[in-house]
Chains A and B, each alone.
Chain A
Amino acid sequence: MNHLRAWLRRLAGLVPTQQQEQEFSSELESHLQLHIDDNLRFGMTPEEARRNAILKLGGVEHTKQAHRGRRTLPLLETTLQDVCYALRQLRRSPGFTATAILMLALGIGASIAIFAFVDAALIKPLPYTDPTRLADVAERGAAFSRSNLSYLDFVDWQRLNKTFSSLDAYGGGGYLLSTPSGVEPVPAARVSDGFFRTLGVRPILGRDFYSGEDQPNAPATVILTYGTWQRRFGGRKDILNQTITLSGTPTTVIGVLPEDFQFAPRGSAEFWSTLHDHNNCEKRRSCHNLFAIGRLKDGVSFETAQADMAAIAKQLEIQYPGSNRDQGANIGRLSELIVGTIRPILLVLLAGACLLLIIACVNVASLLLVRSESRRREFAVREALGASPARLIRQFITEGLVLISAGTLAGLAAGTLAMRLLLSLISRDMLSSMPYLSRLSLNTHVLLFTAVIALLAAAIFSLTPVLRLPTTAMREALNEGDRSSAGTLWRRLGANLVVLELTIAVVLLVSAGLLGKSFYRLLHVELGFDPSHLSTTYVSLAANTYSTPAGLDVATNKDENIVRIARNIIDRVSALPGVASVGITSMLPVSGNGNTDWIRIVGHPFHGEHNEVNQRDVSADYLKTIHARLIRGRLFTDQEDSTRPKVAVINKAFAEKYFPGEDPIGEKYGNGDLKPESIREIVGIVDNIRESSLDEDIWPAEYTPFNQETDSYFAVVVRTSADEKSLLPALSAAIHQVDPRIGTLDEQTMLQRIDNSQTAYLHRSAAWLVGGFAALALLLGVIGLYGVIAYSVSQRTREIGVRMALGAQRATVYQLILREAGLLTAIGIAAGIVCALVAATLLRGLLFQIRTWDLSTLALVAIVLGIAALIASYIPAHRAASINPVEALRAE
Chain B
Amino acid sequence: MGDKTDVWQGTLALMVLKTLESMGPLHGYGIARRIEQTSGDLLSLNYGTLYPALLRLEQEGAIASEWGLSENNRRAKFYSLTRTGRRLLHKETRSWEQTTAILARFLAPSEEA
Chain A: residues with CB nearer than 8 A to chain B? 2-3, 5-6, 9-10, 23-24, 26-28, 30-31, 33-35, 37-38, 56-59, 62-63, 66-67, 69-71
Contacts and interface: CB of A to CB of B under 8 A. Distances in A.
B77 A57 contact: no
A203 B30 CA distance: 81
A9 B59 contact: yes
A34 B47 contact: no
Given A3-B60, A30-B27, A66 B49 contact: yes
A232 to B, nearest CB: 66
B72 A71 contact: no
B88 A34 contact: no
A66 B70 contact: no
A30 B77 CA distance: 8
Contacts of B47: 31, 35, 56-58
B27 A31 contact: yes
A858 B55 CA distance: 72
Interface of B: 27-30, 33, 46-49, 51-52, 55-56, 59-62, 70, 72, 74-77, 84, 88
Contacts of A35: 29, 47
Contact of A37 (B61, B74, B77, B84): B74
A67 B72 contact: no
Given A70-B55, A71-B55, A31 B28 contact: yes
Contacts of A67: 51-52, 55
Nearest to B84: A2
Contacts of A37: 72, 74
Given A5-B61, A57-B46, A34 B56 contact: no
A70 B56 contact: yes
Nearest to B60: A2
Given A2-B60, A9-B59, A34-B29, A57 B48 contact: yes
Contact of B74 (A3, A34, A66, A69): A34
B76 A34 contact: yes
A623 B81 CA distance: 104
Contact of B77 (A27, A33, A59, A62): A27
A34 B70 contact: yes
Contacts, number: 73
B52 A66 contact: yes
Contact of B51 (A9, A26, A56, A63): A63
Nearest to A30: B76
A56 B47 CA distance: 6
A6 B60 contact: yes
A67 B62 CA distance: 17
B78 to A, nearest CB: 10
Contacts of A34: 27, 29-30, 70, 72, 74, 76
B10 to A, nearest CB: 13
Given A2-B84, A69-B52, 16 more contacts: A2-B62, A3-B60, A9-B59, A26-B75, A27-B28, A27-B77, A30-B77, A31-B47, A34-B29, A34-B70, A35-B47, A37-B72, A58-B49, A66-B49, A67-B52, A70-B52
4 smallest CB-CB distances across A and B, nearest first, come from A63-B48, A58-B48, A6-B59, A58-B46
Nearest to A35: B29
B66 to A, nearest CB: 12
B59 A10 contact: yes
B28 A5 contact: no
Contact of B61 (A2, A30, A57, A69): A2
A58 to B, nearest CB: 4
Nearest to A31: B29
Residue picked from B60, B62, B75, B84, most chain A C-beta under 10 Å:
B60
A71 B56 CA distance: 8
A149 to B, nearest CB: 77
Contacts of A69: 52
A36 B59 CA distance: 29
Contacts of A26: 75
A423 B112 CA distance: 88
A822 B98 CA distance: 81
16 contacts: A5-B60, A5-B61, A27-B51, A34-B27, A34-B72, A34-B74, A35-B47, A37-B72, A38-B33, A56-B46, A58-B48, A66-B48, A66-B52, A67-B51, A69-B52, A70-B59
Contacts of B33: 38
A9 B59 CA distance: 6
Nearest to B1: A69
